[in-house]
Amino acid sequence: MTCQQLGGACDKVFRADTFEEMAELSKKHGMEMFQAGDAAHLEAMAKMQELMKSPADMQSWFEGKKKEFEALPEE
């Protein structure tokens, strides 16, 4: 899945066996971009933080992305 698909802002592709691993990679990348002061990622992270204010919204976002991940063909 790409950074963008995971709530980020670029086309960087993450590959992992599990969605949890994928989320971890995306989080790490997000932190790197945050530290680099990348404006597009800062904006994307602000949106995610807005989403996290509601645990129910966050949960449904997470579940939706997990389904998206599981629907991907094996490569």
Is the Cβ–Cβ distance between 41 and 30 less than 8 Å?
yes
Is the Cβ–Cβ distance between 6 and 36 less than 8 Å?
no
Asked if 45 interacts with Zn ion (CB under 5 A), we say no
Asked if 10 interacts with Zn ion (CB under 5 A), we say yes
Cβ closest to Zn ion, residue 10 vs residue 51: 10
Asked if 16 interacts with Zn ion (CB under 5 A), we say no
What is the DSSP code string of 15-27? --SSHHHHHHHHH
Asked if 42 interacts with Zn ion (CB under 5 A), we say no
Cβ closest to Zn ion, residue 10 vs residue 42: 10
